[in-house]
Structure formats: C-alpha cells, structure tokens
Amino acid sequence: MILRLKTFGITRDILGNREVEFVLNGSSVGDLRNQLHATYPDLKKLNSLFIAINLEYAADEYLLTEKDEVALIPPVSGG
C-alpha cells in the first residue's frame, strides 16, 4: 500500500521532506512503525514517535488504508 506521510520537526529532517510517499508492506500502524525504523534508523533515536491517522493518535493495532492521512509526530519541547 502507498501512504503519504506528513512529517513535522525532526521527522521532516530525517525523512527529507514535509510530505513523503511511502510503500508499506503491511497494514497496521505497528507495521508502519517497524518499517519506518528499518528504513530510517535515526527515527529509533527519538524519545517518542506518535503516529496520527486522520488527525487522531493511533495505536499500533490500527489498520491503515491508502486514503488515511498519516502524520509523524516527534517529541515536542518548549517553554
């Protein structure tokens, strides 16, 4: 399945663009997370990586479709 990933913060730097087309060999958010870590090892260095589907945080069990809006949310710091 082909997904369009929206990236923010450090994930944009790691993936190289604000929107990335990604071929997923699986169907769940967990599959996506595992494949992202294999493809972009620097993502493993982040303290956390949330994945939002259609504007809501998604658990690893969530099943994806090509129509889903997928966003990679890195750790946020501020003050």
Taking only the tens place, the pLDDT of each residue in 18-75 is 999 999 999 999 999 999 999 999 999 999 999 999 999 999 999 999 999 999 999 8
Strand partners, 35: none
Rg of the chain on CA atoms, in Å: 12
Give the model's pLDDT for residue 77. 64
Give the model's pLDDT for residue 79. 55
Give the model's pLDDT for residue 39. 97
Residue 3 is inside which H or E element, if any? strand 2-7
Q: Where are the domains of the chain?
A: 2-73
pTM recorded for the entire structure = 0.92
Question: Hunting for tokens 């998604």 — which residue is that?
Answer: 58
Taking residues 6-13, report their average pLDDT: 96
Class of domain 2-73: alpha beta
